[in-house]
Every structure is written in C-alpha cells, then in structure tokens.
Chain A
Amino acid sequence: MEKRATFGHWWIGIAFAIPQIILIFTFFYWPAGQAVYWSMTLQQPWGGGNIWVGLDNFRQILTDPLYWNSVVRSFVFALFSTLLAMGIGLVLAVFVDRELAGSKVYRVVMIWPYGIAAPALALAFRFMLAPEAGLLAFVNRLWPGLWDPGLDGTDAMIAVIVAFSWKYVGYNFVFFLSALQGIPKSLTEAAALDGAGWIRRLRDIQLPMLTPTVFFLLVIDITESFQDSFGIVDIMTSGGPARATELMVYKIYFDGFRGLDYSGAAAQSIILMILIVALTVLQFRFIERRVHYK
C-alpha cells in the first residue's frame, strides 16, 4: 500500500519550495551573479557607467606577486587559527565532559566570545597585546624589542591569529562537547572497567567517535578563517605592517569599500569563492574518507 504523502497537483511541491528559492536567489545567486558581472567590467562607483574588460581584472590580480603573498598568508592564517581554535576547543570540551570542578559554569560561559562583534574583540586584543602598555608589556621589559606587532610582521600575524582563534574556541567547544556527550556512556564505562585510563579512552574511543564533528568543524573553521577575519585585521593591524597581515578578504574589503574599486574587489571575491569551494571539495574528497559516521 502507498504510504507516502503525495500531492494531487504537480505545482504544490514547487509552491512550498518557492519562498526558500526566492530567499536563496535574492541573497545568494543574484548578488553572486552581479559580482561575476562586475568582475568583468570596470565599474564607476557612482553608477555613471561601466566598461567591459573581460578577464582583465583577473589577469591584473593574478599577475601581481603581492597578491600571491596574500594568498599564502591567508593559508598560514587559516592553518594556525584552525589548529589553535580546534585544539583548545577540544581540550576544554574534554575537561568539561569529565565534569571537572566548575564545568557547569564553563559550559555556559565558553560560547560567549563567539557572540562578540569582531571590531570590539579586536579593540580589546589590541589593548592587551600593545607592546608598551598592554598585558604583554612585561615581555618587553624582560627582553626589550621582542614583541612589537607594530613593526614586526610575524608578531602582528600571531596577534591576529590569537584574536581570531579566541573567538572560535567557544564555537568549537560547543560542538565538541555535544559530540562527546553523544558518545554512549556504556562504551567508555566498559573500557574503564577493562582498566583503560582516561587518556587511553580518549584516544581509542572518544576521538574516533568524534571524527564527524572534527571534520565538520574543520570545514567550517577554514571557511570562516578565509571570510570572517577582516574585521579583526582592520582594527588590529589594517593589514600591516608592510602587508604582513593583508589577508585576501581584508584586501577585498579595503579595495572595495574604502578604495571604491568595486570591480577589482568583485574579481578578488570570485577568486576567493572559487578557492573556498575547491578547498571544501578537497576536504570532502580526501579527509572525509577517514571519518567514521557510525
């Protein structure tokens, strides 16, 4: 007997889908299509007209050695901030899962950083990491000149990575914790009865069961680190010193919104979009193989 709900008319299903399709179209496909069009023209910001230039914008960007430097920097940023945010998030989640003292409070508090707007967060970190007046000033008293994000590019990069990771630690923590708590207690208890210590249980039982979450967070964190970093960079370093923290997304923001070069910024965002799509495909292709969903 047919138990599936069926629609009497072919258009009812489509009618249900239309609100969603309209939303996606207005807020994603239409602007994305517009960006593709803009990237192949030179747009006058005030709307006075545009000139078709084909792929010239892309050629100009991709032949600029400094642009490739910013691509490399974006990868460095993505790698370290993802590692840091996921690593710390996982450790904290394990602690809370083991119900160490105060874990109930941490469970609530840890997500807060994720709710802080990037500029506010960056401002706070700029104060804390200021070499002369901040919390790190003591480092410079011990070793003068060791910490100077104002002129040292590596220091500046470390500063933005730390600020960005701090925001995402809480986000990762929540996912890790819920995944840890979804692992059947019977498994860990059985292992404990067999004499496995908590490190052993973590390595052999919990971590393998966490792989779907690890994979999910990896994809999200990497994507976000390519997209969500410009607010922090803008306030903390403005891409400097000497371009040391000029990430791809910051360059898009700067050229487009400050420099009014809409076409150049559109072309750069197309490149970024392709890159993120490619990265995600790669991750699904090669990393997902090692993920155990059941």
Chain B
Amino acid sequence: MKKTLLASAALAALMITTGAQAAEKTKFDFWFGLSGDLEKRVQEVCARFNASQNDYEVVCTSQGNYDAALQNTIAAFRAGKQPTVVQVYDVGTATMMLSDAFVPAYELMEKNGYKIDWKDYIGGIAGYYASSKGQMFSFPFNSSTPLLYWNKTAFEKIGKTAAPKTWEEAHADAEALKKAGYECPIAINVSQNESWQLLEQFSAIHGEPVASKNNGYDGLDAELVFNKTKFVKYIKDLKAWYDAGLVKIKSKDQGQDMVQAFAAGDCQMIMTSVGDHGTVGRTAKEDLSWDVAMLPVYEGTERKNSLVGGASLWTLKGKSPAEYKAAAAFLAFVAEPESALFWSTVTGYVPVTESGFAYMKSHGFYDKAPYKGREVAIASLTATPPTPLTRGLRLGGFTQIRAEVGNGLQEIFSGKSDVQTAIDGMVTRGNAILRRFEATYKGKTLP
C-alpha cells in the first residue's frame, strides 16, 4: 500500500515537472481483456512505459475479458473509433489475420525504425502469431503453456521422486496412489476450454495433427482430423481411468475446480497452465510439497514442443503516423528483457524471447521459490524446433470448435455416448464450422 502510494506520488511529481511537455505527448489507446489482479498488472506495465519516456502516453483500458475485448474492438472498428493497440487471445488469431484491419507487427516496427530480432522469439510462441511465411503479425504478450502439476508428498508415499514422463507411467502412478488411499490421483475438467490441454497441446507434443493442411496454416479448406489420431486413444484411456476412479472431474460447477483441488491437496496430478503456478503457490495448503513437469507423452513418442496459449498485441489500421510511432515505442518497450522480468514476476506468464529468458535466468529468477519450476514451461515450449504441426492452430471459428470439443467430452464422461462416436461428432460439427468460416471469407487466403 505504502509502496503504491509512494509510486503514485512519484508519478504525480513526474507529471507536474513534465507538465510543459505533457501537452505534446502523443496519446494512444490500448484495450486489453484481462481483469481482476491481472488488470492491475497490465496497468503497471502501462505506468512503467509512461514513466520511462516523455514523448508518448498509453491509455490502457480493460474490457473485462478476452471475448469482450475482441467484440468491443470490432464494434469500435466498424464505427471508426478503434484503439491503436488491442490484446487478442490465441484463438482469435485466424479471424484477425483475415480481418484486413491490422498493421502487421513487422511492418509497424520496420516503418518506425525499430530493429527487432524476430529470431529471438521462442519458436513455439512465434509460430502461433506469424504468417505462413514466418513474418510476425502481432506481438506475443501474455504467454503460457500447460504443465503437469504433481504432489511430491503423495508421490513419496508410493516411492517416487519424479513426475511421470509417459502416460503409461502416469497410469501406474495413479493406480499406486489410489492403493495408497488417495481418492483423486488425477483431476481433469471438461466444462470449459479444456480442449486446450486435452486436444491441442496433447496433439502438438505428440506431433499429431488437429486439422489437415498443417493445422490450417496452409489454407482455409483445412479439415479436422483428430478423430483418427492418438487423441482417440488418449480419451479412451482417460475415460477408462475415470471409470476406474483414477481420474476425477473437478469443475467450478461442482464447487472446486481442479486448481483448487490440487492446491488443497485433494487431487495429486493436474494439467493446467503455467499461469496458475502463482495461484497454486499462493493458495496451497501449508504442508503441500509440489512441483511441475512437462505433460506426459505416450511411450514410443518423440516429444515435440508444446503450443503457446494466452494473447498477443495487434496494431489496428486507421490511425495517424504519430500514433503508430507511439505504439511502436510501446511494443518495443514491452519486448525488452527488463519488461519480461517485470511481467513474469508479477504474473505467472513466461518470457517470450530467448534474451528475456536469459536475462531472467541471469537474475536468478528461476533459482528460488516461488518462481522455481517455471523454467519447465520454456523447456516444454522449446522441446524441439517447431514442426509444421507444432507451430500452432490456424482455424477459423475456433471458439465454437472448442465448445464442440467440450460438449463431446461432456457426452463421453457422462456416459451418454462412446468415445469414438463422440469424437466423430466433434469433428463433423467442427468441420461444418470451418466450412462456414471458409464461405464467409470466400476468395481470401491466410497470409
């Protein structure tokens, strides 16, 4: 409290002394979708930028959530009142790329005289926001990837000191934990967007496609194919383990979601974003000894890099050169290693560049609790250089496809239909969404 007071007093003093120049500052808008604690963190980034120089001022406004940020920006854009910079979540990337409403990141920086080393961006992150030719269209901002969170105390009881590396091992561990009296060896959730961990990330690290045409990167006529990949076996296994009591479903609807269940020590393994690392650390019950590891793969699989989740920063068309100059300065500021250290310290997100990661390592960020373990996320994102199937997903209507996957998973785990039928259903209905998207953008191609 005192600190923030001091900081704001300092800021106020700064504003008074720079009052003369303040009139000439170029102001621009930045809309974002984070709320609650993360909203404050973004505002801190904005305040740091505004305090760092005298030429530009960013006005940051939270729109409440990712969906609202995108909808409100679209409405504003159609009315010609769009912000200069907007945060768009990962699944909105395909829509953005076809929108014809943005200035590509590489073009913006080039025109305003910034030399960004695009190769510095961590492969698994860059691929998601780059065109098929490899040019970056937006700046990765808050980035995460899923990890396996495991309870060390429980694993000690079954004589293990490391997390399972394969699903075969995880299965054996779950059975041992069950025998040792643990009610909920593995917790999953199927109520929201868990397609992210269960389908998208699983497929990436196993090198399996989610859709044809290299997951949609090579054309809008891509079709979903995950009803014929290892994903089917994976869900069959999860369902069998669920029936055997090794896997429990933990969702908000039931009163305790999986992160809470893990932090309370009720469940021993969960798969969730590195972004939850801080939450688990803060809310874990006192004697909980836990760690994170990369998601398991099936035996005989060569592990590939996992995909980035989160959101990126897009610059929109229709603004003045002065505003673009200001936006470029802001984006360059956000990309600095010092900003990465600040951002990753106050949130659970990972640095997006190699240099940011190196800078954080050299500052000892990963050496001690509560940040120790988060380097596993970078290891997961960089497990291999991105392959055509692990750059990301470039599929239209992906919010709806995720909902179809969620519905299918709910059918499976409530016993309403068998695994293959339900997954075939997800694919059929998902393909209808893709065809609709393709028809909407008839004659356009992905950049």
Enumerate chain A interface residues (CB-CB to B < 8 A).
Answer: 42-48, 51, 53, 60, 66, 126-127, 130-134, 137, 148-153, 156, 236-243, 254-255, 257-261, 263-264
Contact = CB atoms under 8 A, between A and B. Distances in A.
Contacts of B439: 42, 51, 53
30 contacts: A43-B440, A44-B99, A45-B74, A45-B95, A46-B74, A47-B74, A47-B77, A48-B100, A48-B101, A51-B440, A130-B254, A148-B254, A150-B251, A152-B414, A156-B253, A238-B192, A238-B403, A238-B406, A239-B403, A240-B191, A240-B406, A241-B414, A242-B411, A242-B416, A254-B403, A259-B400, A260-B71, A260-B397, A260-B399, A263-B440
Interface in B111-131: none
Contact of B410 (A134, A151, A264): A151
Given A149-B253, A260-B70, A264-B436, A46 B99 contact: yes
A237 B254 CA distance: 11
B440 A258 contact: no
Given A132-B254, A260-B74, A260-B95, A46 B101 contact: yes
B234 interface: no
Contacts of A42: 436, 439-440, 442
A141 to B, nearest CB: 13
B407 interface: yes
Contacts of A132: 254-256
A39 B17 CA distance: 56
B78 interface: yes
A75 to B, nearest CB: 21
Interface in B182-239: 191-192
A240 B429 CA distance: 16
A285 B125 CA distance: 62
B397 A259 contact: yes
B77 A44 contact: no
Nearest to B396: A260
A149 B67 CA distance: 25
Q: Secondary structure of the A side of the interface?
A: loop
Contacts of A153: 414
B411 to A, nearest CB: 4
B71 A131 contact: no
B417 to A, nearest CB: 8
B253 A237 contact: yes
A41 to B, nearest CB: 9
A126 B397 CA distance: 29
Contacts of B414: 151-153, 241-242
B277 to A, nearest CB: 24
B157 interface: no
Nearest to B409: A242
A127 B253 CA distance: 8
B333 interface: no
Contacts of A130: 252-255
A57 B98 CA distance: 21
B224 to A, nearest CB: 16
Given A45-B74, A238-B191, 5 more contacts: A44-B98, A46-B74, A48-B99, A150-B249, A259-B399
A85 B439 CA distance: 44
| Candidate in A42, A60, A239 with the most chain B CB atoms within 10 angstroms | A42
A145 to B, nearest CB: 12
Contact of A261 (B253, B400, B429): B400
Contacts of A133: 254-256
Nearest to A130: B255
B106 interface: no
B191 A241 contact: yes
Contacts of A260: 70-71, 74, 95, 397, 399
Contacts of B298: none
Contacts of A131: 253-255
Contacts of B100: 46, 48
B413 interface: yes
Nearest to B397: A259
Contacts of B407: 239-240, 242-243
A68 B439 CA distance: 24
A258 B439 CA distance: 19
A180 B74 CA distance: 50
Q: Which 9 A-B pairs have the closest CB atoms?
A: A133-B255, A130-B255, A150-B253, A46-B99, A132-B255, A242-B410, A259-B400, A241-B410, A42-B440
Interface in B52-95: 67, 70-71, 74, 77-78, 95
A242 B252 CA distance: 16
Contacts of A53: 439
Contacts of B400: 254-255, 258-259, 261
Nearest to A131: B254
Interface string B250-264: 011111100000000
A239 B410 CA distance: 11
B359 interface: no
B254 A150 contact: yes
B441 interface: yes
A174 B407 CA distance: 39
A238 B409 CA distance: 14
Contacts of A51: 439-440, 442
Contacts of A243: 407
